[in-house]
Amino acid sequence: MNEIDTKILSPDAVGLTVAAELLSGGGLVAFPTETVYGLGVDARNSDAVARLYAAKGRPSFNPLIVHVETLAVAETLVEFDEDALRLASAFWPGALTLVLPLKDGAGISPLVTAGLDTLAVRVPDHALAQSLLAAYGGPIAAPSANPSGQVSPTSFAHVRDQMVGRIDGIVEGGTCGVGLESTIVATRPVPTLLRAGGLPSEAIEAALGQELAQAGDAAAPNSPGQLASHYAPKGDVRLNAVDVRVGETLLGFGAVEAAINLSASGDLVEAAANLFNALHQLNALGAEKIAVSPIPEHGLGRAINDRLRRAAAPR
Ligand code: AMP
Ligand code: MG
């Protein structure tokens, strides 16, 4: 990847205005929250989300947490049940992420949800994060602001040392108070702890008046990795297809004649941004046999191939 000129942004109205402008333009901006520094992008912009995966060097498309200013904004994106409302009232703003059914027309990029029909949302309890959300006025998807496989950053220096040259801006805030990722809970079919984090699960259980199921329990929702296979296309998938056989629909990459092309110009960022829509389109077309053009195994190609290999795995 080419080096990007990373702007260091002051933690005041001037810096946050520039941060919001960068986000509007599809830019990547790191900012402090009370848990860890997040690497933010507009959650509605698939190209921006694809660039975020590239900047982190993530080898797979894990769903991302979307940060919003208030519960009221969250309610425009996801469906709240009674338990979810209770938890949001008790712990927001704070280090709790709720995984809830995505509303139709919420406008969130399918790269953010990794094609799932649920969305992880959180209202951060940090003055600068709140001010940035207010200045921007839109949902910000933000995983931790570190290269994949490295430790989550809890200070400005961590982010600067790891991300300068890879992202558009860093808001120079202080140290993160909690210093641990958020606790993630899904409330349906039963309240379930998906990830332990900064908010102790005992506090959540006390607010709910019941114990949390653990991810992996029989009644609990599947972990996202397992869920992902449910969202594989319905047809059989053949990878690295250099020809198209009778009855196959081609999911193309590069200069090929295809029913759907991830990127005719062979651009991996464009291909990543199109991936989940393409998988949905294949179902809409009723494709029973799907051939997929070879996709190079570097940069975002690794995450795209990881996803396609899951789609091709025997079910
Ligand atoms: P990070 O943004 O790096 O802190 O990681 C986000 C975490 O949230 C990952 O562990 C995801 O698996 C989890 N997550 C995000 N969205 C969902 C979802 N829709 N269902 C289940 N887990 C999710
Ligand atoms: Mg992380």
Please give the number of the atom of ligand 1 that sits closest to the Cα of 224.
21
Please give the number of the atom of ligand 1 that sits closest to the Cα of 181.
4
* Bond before 110 cis per omega within 30 degrees: no
Give the CA distances from residue 268 to residues 51, 220, 271, 294, 301, in Å, rounded to whole numbers and listed in that order.
10, 35, 5, 12, 6
pLDDT digits (tens, 9 = 90+) for 100-137: 999 999 999 999 999 899 999 999 999 999 999 999 99
Query: What is the amino acid identity at position 186?
Result: A
Q: Which CATH architecture has domain 7-214?
A: Alpha-Beta Complex (3.90)
Please give the pLDDT value at position 46.
96
Q: Give the confidence band of 220 by pLDDT, cuts at 50, 70, 90.
A: low
Residues of the chain with CATH 3.90.870.10: 7-214
For residue 62 and ligand 1, the question of a CB distance below 6 A is answered with yes
φ, ψ at 140 (rounded to 5°): -115, 115
pLDDT digits (tens, 9 = 90+) for 47-62: 999 999 999 998 888 8
For residue 194 and ligand 1, the question of a CB distance below 6 A is answered with yes
Please give the pLDDT value at position 231.
52
113 CA → ligand 1 middle, Å: 8
For residue 64 and ligand 1, the question of a CB distance below 6 A is answered with yes
Q: Is 5 exposed, middle or buried (0-12, 13-18, 19+ CB in 10 A)?
A: exposed
pLDDT for 224 beyond 90: no
Please give the pLDDT value at position 74.
98
Please give the pLDDT value at position 227.
47
pLDDT for 222 beyond 70: no
pLDDT digits (tens, 9 = 90+) for 134-184: 999 999 999 999 998 888 898 999 999 999 999 999 999 999 888 888 999
Please give the pLDDT value at position 149.
84
pLDDT digits (tens, 9 = 90+) for 2-20: 689 999 999 999 999 999 9
Largest Cα span, the chain? 61
Q: Give the confidence band of 219 by pLDDT, cuts at 50, 70, 90.
A: low
pTM here is 0.88
Report how far residue 305's alpha carbon sits from residue 71's, in angstroms, rounded to the nearest whole number. Answer: 36
User: Which carries the bigger pLDDT value, residue 310 or residue 39?
Assistant: 39
